[in-house]
Amino acid sequence: MNVVLAYKNFAAFRNISHIGLGVAAINTAKVLRREGIDAAVWPVMSAADLRQKLMVKRVDHVIVAAPWIPTAELQSLATDFPETEFAVNCHSNVGFLQADRNGVKLVRETMELELGTANVHLAGNSRRFCRWVESGFGAPCAYLPNLYWLQEHAARQQPWSGGTLRIGVFGATRPLKNLMSAAGAALEIARHLRASLELWMSGGRTEGGGETVLGAVHEMLTGLPGVKLHLTGWQSWPSFRKTIAHMHLLLQPSYTESFNMVTADGVAEGVPSVVSDAIDWAPDDWKANVDDVLDIARVGRRLLHDWRAAEEGRRALESYVRDGIHAYRRYLACPSG
C-alpha cells in the first residue's frame, strides 16, 4: 500500500511557496514512513499535473491538501483511476472558511461526490471540523490530522533570564490570526518585566485585510523606547526553524485553527507558545482567553520562567501524533469507514 500527499504548488505560479501545506505534507509523510507506510509528497500545479503523475505510477491513496481541485476534474480522476482512493483533506476549521467561499463550495460538492462515487472522500485535519460535517450535513468526514516529525533529540532553549526579550508572532498576516492582540500582549509583557522588546513577525504574505492588521501593529509600536519590530521575509522551513529557535516565547492566540504549524515548530525547538483553545492539542496551561490581551500576557509571563514548559509541549505534541497515526491506519484500512 502506498500513499501520496498532494498539495498545490503555488511556487510555480507566483514564485512563492504555500509553505504551510508543503511543510505539513513532508512532516506527515516522514511520520508515516517511520510507521512503515509508503508515503510520498507530490507538489502539483493542477488536476492535469496530478493525472500525469498517476499515469506514471500506481497509487493506492491520494490525499489532496485543501479543497482546490474543481469537482468535475476530481470526479474525472476518480473515474479514470478507480483503484485509487481520493481524499480531499480540509486544512481549515469552520471559522476560517469564511475567508474561502470557493473552498466552502468545493467542500459541499465533495460531500455529494462521495455519496455518488466509491473512491472519493471528504476529510479534515481537525476533529472539530469533522464532527461539524457529520452533525451538520449528515455526511462522513475522515479525520486525517497533520502529523509532526519530532527528532529524538529534544531541543531545549534557555528560558529568558534578563536582557532583550524576543517574542515571535508568526504566520500569514490575516485578521483571524489575532496578531494585534498578540502584539499588544508582547508589549505588556516587556513593560511588566522592564525589558527591551524585539517583536518578530512574518512579512511578505498579507491576506484578506492583513495590510490593515500590519499597519495597526506599526501604529501601536512605532516610536516606543526599547521596542523594535522585526519583519522576517517568507522563509524556507529550515530557515524559519532557526528563527523560531532564536525566540524566548511565541504568541499564537488565533481565533480559529485546525493545527498551527508555528506552535509545533516551537515545540520542536524548545520554545513555548501562548495559544488559544483553538489549538486544542497544546497543553492546557499554554492557553489564554483569545480576546483578553492581559490574559495572553499573563500566560506568556508564566511560560517565560517555566523550565518545564518546553517538555510539556513536546509530550502534548507526541500524544497528538500517536493518536493521529491511529487515525491514518483506520482510514487506510477502510477509507469508507
Looking at the fold, whether 24 and 137 belong to one and the same domain comes out as yes
In a domain, 260, yes or no: yes
Quickly count: other Cβ atoms within 10 Å of residue 37's Cβ: 17
Q: Nearest CA to 76 among 60, 96, 55, 103?
A: 55
All three cell numbers of 275: 495559544
Task: For residue range 39-78, list pLDDT tens digits in order.
Answer: 999 999 999 999 999 999 999 999 999 999 999 999 999 9
Task: For residue range 137-182, list pLDDT tens digits in order.
Answer: 999 999 999 999 998 777 777 788 889 999 999 988 888 999 999 9
Looking at the fold, whether 137 and 172 belong to one and the same domain comes out as no
Looking at the fold, whether 181 and 286 belong to one and the same domain comes out as yes
- φ/ψ (deg, to 5) at 160: -60, 135
Per-residue pLDDT for 189 more than 80? Answer: yes
Looking at the fold, whether 139 and 173 belong to one and the same domain comes out as no
What DSSP string describes 301-331?
Answer: HHHHT-TTHHHHHHHHHHHHHHHHHHHHHHH
CB 135 within 8 A of CB 148: no
The reported pTM is 0.93
What whole-number percentage of the chain has pLDDT above 70?
95
Average pLDDT value for the chain: 93
pLDDT of res. 331: 97
Looking at the fold, whether 203 and 99 belong to one and the same domain comes out as no
Which residue range is the domain that position 169 belongs to?
Answer: 165-316
For the segment 304-317, the average pLDDT, to the nearest whole number, is 95
Looking at the fold, whether 255 and 297 belong to one and the same domain comes out as yes
In a domain, 324, yes or no: no
pLDDT of res. 151: 84
Looking at the fold, whether 185 and 288 belong to one and the same domain comes out as yes
Looking at the fold, whether 82 and 108 belong to one and the same domain comes out as yes
Looking at the fold, whether 136 and 176 belong to one and the same domain comes out as no
Looking at the fold, whether 170 and 312 belong to one and the same domain comes out as yes
Looking at the fold, whether 171 and 311 belong to one and the same domain comes out as yes
Q: Nearest CA to 182 among 291, 312, 305, 283?
A: 291
| Structural domain count of the chain | 2
Looking at the fold, whether 120 and 221 belong to one and the same domain comes out as no
Residues linked to residue 123 through DSSP beta bridges, in sequence order: 89, 142
CATH number at residue 116: 3.40.50.2000
Task: For residue range 198-215, list pLDDT tens digits in order.
Answer: 999 987 666 667 788 899
